[in-house]
Amino acid sequence: MRKWQVTLLVTVLLAVLGMVGAGWSLRPVIDYYMDGVDDTVNFQWGPLKVSLKFRNRGEVDSSLLLLVAVRNANISVDKIEPWMTYNETQVIFRVNARSRMEAYRSYDVNIRPVGDPQNFTITYTIEDVSGSSISGIISRLFLEPHPYFATYALYNKTDATTYELLK
Q: How far apart are CA 39 and CA 46, in angstroms?
A: 16
Dump pLDDT digits (tens) for 147-166. Answer: 877 899 999 999 999 999 99
Boundaries of every domain in the chain: 28-165
Q: Which residues contact 18 (CB under 8 A, 6 or more apart)?
A: none
Q: Render pLDDT for 74-105 as a digit per residue (tens, 0 to 9).
A: 999 988 888 888 899 999 999 988 888 889 99
Specify the pairing of strand 119-128 against strand 105-113: unpaired
CATH code for the domain defined by 28-165: 2.60.40
Q: What is the mean pLDDT of the chain?
A: 84
Under 8 Å CB-to-CB from 145, ≥6 apart: which residues?
A: 30, 32, 126
- Report how far apart, in Å, the C-alpha atoms of 107 and of each of 111, 124, 150, 155 are: 13, 12, 15, 21
Which one has a higher pLDDT value, 51 or 98?
51
Beta strand 48-56 with 29-35: parallel, antiparallel or unpaired?
antiparallel
The H or E element spanning position 122 is strand 119-128
pLDDT given at position 63: 85
Per-residue pLDDT for 52 more than 70? yes
Q: Name 34's bridge partners.
A: 52
